[in-house]
Amino acid sequence: MAAIHPVVDEGLGNSAYLVELGDGRALVVDPARDPSPYLELARWRRLQVAYAVETHLHADFLTGSRELAADDGAQILAPRASRLGFAHRGLEDGEEVDLGGLTLRVLATPGHAPEHASYLLLDGARPVAVFSGGALLVGTVARTDLAGPELTEPLARAAYRSLHGRLLSLPDDLGVYPTHGAGSFCSAPAGDQRTTTIGAERRHNPLLAAPDEDTFVAQLLASFGSYPPYFLRLRERNRVGPELLGRDWKVLPLLSTDKIQQHLAGGGHLVDARPITAFAAGHIPGALSIELRPQFASWLGWLQDDTQPLAFVLDEDQDRGELARQCRTIGYDHLVGEVAGGMAAWQDAGLPEAQLPLVQVEQLDDHSGWCWMSARPARSPTATSPVRPPLSWAPSLATGSRRRSRRGRSR
């Protein structure tokens, strides 16, 4: 039986899958932009990535298929309806790909996206697994409102037919490997389980219990929350093809305090990725606090325009490569650098800094004149699920700041 290895992005709530094909080759389903996790896993298992498979045009992350093709010679497989603008093999419903002992069968499952396909992995005639993308998730179905408001309800109806006409005809004991899971803005699963079976979903998925299509559609549409603005741009970037990352894509150039002042004066944005307590104690006026942690990218996607050049403030022990990875995964490529020497260099130069008091969420009613919300979930410092903020939260991030000079005067 083929070994299937999940590669989970906890911050965005998505899973890719590396599948061992049994002959020193591997297949990766829905890889994210940074190819390192898949290539490192493949090397550890002494495999070459022979195929990169796309279930749909993703709205929440940039694909890594082009990277795997460039780095490991992978052939890209995708629904023909995706109309990809880079080299790939376009697949039609029912088409089969010979993987050398195993077979990959295309199941057109529109719903989450118009072009969406699931992939049934077969060993001879025996189903081994189905990679369902967003067509069937643990306890739910992925949202249908990302391809345009006019398509939201028609795609919800298509999702119903995809489930009942295609996926639910598969064996109950068949493993289901979705792309979206807990923490993803593409879905709203109730728990942290990331894989399931057809039978488990038939028994426990509330949407599958809907007695008819109209009820299913009403329940699905009512489950949609908000999503970050960058979702509206990534489907097209994935269709055209993300730019290849290059050799030094994780490096942040060091910028002097003079360069940072010029950056800000020219309309550039500054993100302070240090811990919230450090930011509150003293930060560069105008900086936005988004602490570097697994959900950094989600908050960045909510609060910053991906067309603006970004500079960063970091502590010495923070992982620059992880920050760059999260930025570039969601298409934020205009990374001009970081403050050389961090906040200490800014302070040593005698430049103005600002402070903010920290307020627990329970205290906000007692501070009706202003509120400070840091870009992190309020539940606990170790929370792992991203909060889904309405867009109206963003202005509060700049409210209540007190500026001071190096002599400590508030102004």
Q: Which SS3 state, helix, strand or coil, does residue 305 take?
A: coil
- What's the full length of the chain, in residues? 411
Closest listed residue to residue 302, CA positions, set 212, 249, 226:
226
- Provide the total of helices (H) and of strands (E) in the chain, helices listed first: 11, 19
In whole angstroms, give the CA distance from residue 108 to residue 95. Answer: 10
- Model pTM greater than 0.85? yes
- Asked whether the beta carbons of 378 and 361 are under 8 A apart, the reply is yes
Beta strand segments in 203-329, E? 254-255, 269-272, 288-289, 310-313
DSSP letters, 36-73, are: HHHHHHHHHTT-EEEEEE-SS--SSS-B-HHHHHHHH-
Q: Cα–chain-centroid distance for residue 11? A: 7
CA-based Rg of the chain, rounded to a whole angstrom? Answer: 23
* Tens digit of each residue's pLDDT, the chain (411 residues): 689 999 999 999 999 999 999 999 999 999 999 999 999 999 999 999 999 999 999 999 999 999 999 999 999 999 999 999 999 999 999 999 999 999 999 999 999 999 999 999 999 999 999 999 999 999 999 999 999 999 999 999 999 999 999 999 999 999 999 999 877 887 665 567 899 999 999 999 999 999 999 999 999 999 998 899 999 999 999 999 999 998 899 999 999 999 999 999 999 999 999 999 999 999 999 999 999 999 999 999 999 988 899 999 999 999 999 999 999 999 999 999 999 999 999 999 999 999 988 887 777 665 444 444 443 333 333 222 333 343 333 333 432 344 443 433 333
